Chain A
Amino acid sequence: MPKAQREQGHARVFDLGQQSLRELNQALHNLAPGSNETAWEVLNPKGSHSVAVGVDQPVSIDVRGSVGYYCAGMNDGAAITVHGSAGPGVGENMMSGSIVVKGDASQYAGATGRGGLLVIEGNASSRCGISMKGIDIVVHGNIGHMSAFMAQSGNLVVLGDAGDALGDSIYEARLFVRGKVESLGADCIAKEMRPEHIELLQGLLDRAGITGVKPSEFKRYGSARKLYNFNIDNADAY
C-alpha cells in the first residue's frame, strides 16, 4: 500500500500530491453504511476542484489546504472541514451534514443547498446562498453582492456585512445580518426579530460554535411576498 494511503492515527490519509482526485472521490463513494473508515484526511489539495464531492456517509473529512471549485458539493451526511480557503461553489446542493471552511469562500457558497450546515469562518464572496432551499449557512465575516438571490428556505447568518442586493427575489428563507447591508434586492425587507427568531438564531450560533455574539445584535431580513405570483400591480417591482 502506498505510504500516503496508510492510516495515520485513526484517519485514512489521502495525499493529492501523490494520488489522483478521482481515486479520492471513488474511495469516498465506495464507503458502505457502517464502514469503520470514519475519519479521512486529505493532504495537498492545492486548489483542486471537486474535492470530496458527493459523499453520502457520516464520516469526517479534514482537507489540509485550500480547494478550488465545488468542494464538498452534494454532501449528504459527512462532516467536512477545509483548513484553508474554498473556491467557487463550496457545498453546492448540500443535502445534510456539515462543512466548515476555516478561510474564505469564493462565489455562490452553499448554492441550492437543501440541508445541513455550512460555516465559513472567513468572508464569503458574491451570491452566497443563492437559491438556497433549506441549508443553514453561517458566515463569520462578510458576504458579497446578490447573496441569497431567490432563496427559498433555510437560514443565512452573517456576522459581518452584506453586499448589494441582499435577498433579491427571495421566497421564504430567513437572513440574519449583524453588520450593515449595502442594499436590499427586490422583495427583500427588514423584519421584526420576534422571540422565535432569537431562539432560532441562538441555536444556529451554537451549532456553528460561535460564542460572545448575541442574537439581539442581528437584524432579520426576509420576503415581502409581493412577487410570488405575477400581479400586474407589482410590475414595477420586478
Chain B
Amino acid sequence: MCGIVGLFLKDKTLEPKLGAMLSEMLISLSDRGPDSAGIAIYGAATGNEAKITVQSPKADRDFRGLDAELAKAIGAPVSVAVKSTHAVIRTTPDKVDAAREALQSLRPDIRIMGAGEAVEIYKEVGLPEAVVDRFDVRSMTGTHGIGHTRMATESAVTTMGAHPFSTGADQCLVHNGSLSNHNNVRRELVREGMTFETENDTEVAAAYLSNRMAHGKNLGEALEGTLFDLDGFFTFVVGTKNGFGVVRDPIACKPAVMAETDQYVAFGSEYRALTKLPGIDNARVWEPEPATVYFWEH
C-alpha cells in the first residue's frame, strides 16, 4: 500500500492554502499506511536565504541555543524556527555545507531532513493527521508540495524511514511500491560518493535521481533513467525547487490518479485524495501511463 499525494500550483492565489490542501489530500489516504507520514512543502525561493530542516529526538536539548552556536561556527547569521521535533535553520545559501558540517559536531543527534532554498520537510512516525497537527502543516504556504503515508515494507518504522526522502538540494521524492535491486544500486551510488542514512529502498531512488542530476541530467531525464536502472514496483512523485514530476514503472500495479486544471496539477494514489480540490468536477482527470514521465515546472 502506502499513499502518496502531490500538488503543484499554477494559480498564485491558492499559495496561501497549499499546506491545508495538501494536508487534506494526505489525511484522506491514511488507511493506505499507518506507520509514518511526511510532507515536503516548497515555499518561494528568495535567492538570498537557504533553509535546512533538521530533526532531533531530543528537541528541547538540541535546539536550545543552536542559533547562536551555529552562527558563531559558520560566521554567518542563523535563525532557528522550532516546530515540535523539527526545526528550520535559515542562513545564507553559501553557508549550507558549512552549517551541515558544524551541526555534526555541535549536535551529533540531529538528523538533516532536507536542505535548499525552497523546501521544508516534516516527517514522523504516526498517522497523517497527527503529523499534520504536530507541525501545523495546514497553515503553511507555498508553490508545490508532496506527501506520503507509509506502510513499511522494506525497512524499519522510524522517523528517518519515513518519506519524503531528500538527497539533494531542494530535491525530494515519495514512493509507493518496493524496489528489488536497491542494494545493488546503493552500492554503485556509494562508489560514486553518495551517502545514505537508512536501509530504505526509497532513499536509493532519491539518491539515484540526485546523482543523475549531479551528472547534468534534468529531472525529466533522471526520471526516465529509473525505468531502466531501478527494478521493482514504483510510483514516484518528486519535487525540485521549481518542478514536480511523476513516473510509474512499466508494470504499473501501484495506483495513481492525476488531475489538472488551470489552477493546479494534482497527484493522488486514489481519486478520493482529489475530491476536495477546487474545480475537481471539471478537471481533466487521468491515470498516468506506465513507463511515462510527467513533469511540470514553474
Interface residues of A, Cβ cutoff 8 Å to B: 46-48, 66, 68-69, 85, 87-88, 103-104, 106-107, 125-126, 144-145
Main secondary structure of the interface of A (DSSP, over half): loop
What's the least CB distance linking A64 to chain B, in Å? 11
**Chain B residues near A125 (CB, 8 Å)?**
287
Report whether A48 and B272 are in contact in the complex, using a CB–CB cutoff of 8 Å: yes
Report whether B255 and A107 are in contact in the complex, using a CB–CB cutoff of 8 Å: yes
**Chain A residues near B289 (CB, 8 Å)?**
144
Task: Knowing A48-B272, A68-B272, A145-B290 are in contact, say whether A87-B255 is a contact too (CB < 8 A).
Answer: yes
Task: Knowing A66-B271, A68-B271, A144-B290 are in contact, say whether A85-B285 is a contact too (CB < 8 A).
Answer: yes
Query: Pick the contact of B290 from A87, A88, A106, A126 — CB < 8 Å?
Result: A126
Task: Knowing A87-B255, A88-B255, A126-B252 are in contact, say whether A106-B287 is a contact too (CB < 8 A).
Answer: yes
**Chain B residues near A145 (CB, 8 Å)?**
252, 290
Check B270 for interface membership: any CB of A closer than 8 A.
yes
The 7 closest A-B pairs by CB, nearest first: A47-B272, A47-B271, A46-B275, A125-B287, A66-B271, A47-B275, A68-B270
Report whether A46 and B272 are in contact in the complex, using a CB–CB cutoff of 8 Å: yes
B245-297, CB < 8 A from A: 252-253, 255, 257, 270-275, 285-287, 289-290
Report whether A107 and B271 are in contact in the complex, using a CB–CB cutoff of 8 Å: no
**Chain A residues near B255 (CB, 8 Å)?**
87-88, 106-107
Given contact pairs A47-B274, A66-B275, A107-B252, enumerate 9 new A-B contacts (beta carbons under 8 Å): A47-B270, A48-B272, A68-B272, A69-B270, A87-B270, A87-B271, A106-B257, A126-B290, A144-B252
Main secondary structure of the interface of B (DSSP, over half): loop
A144 and B250 CA atoms in complex are apart in Å by 11
**Chain A residues near B252 (CB, 8 Å)?**
107, 126, 144-145
**Chain A residues near B257 (CB, 8 Å)?**
87, 106
Task: Knowing A87-B255, A126-B252 are in contact, say whether A104-B287 is a contact too (CB < 8 A).
Answer: yes
What's the least CB distance linking B195 to chain A, in Å? 37
Closest to B276 in A: A46
Closest to A106 in B: B287
Q: What are 15 contact pairs spanning A and B, CB under 8 A?
A: A46-B272, A46-B275, A47-B270, A47-B272, A66-B285, A68-B272, A87-B255, A87-B271, A88-B255, A103-B285, A104-B287, A107-B253, A126-B253, A126-B290, A144-B289
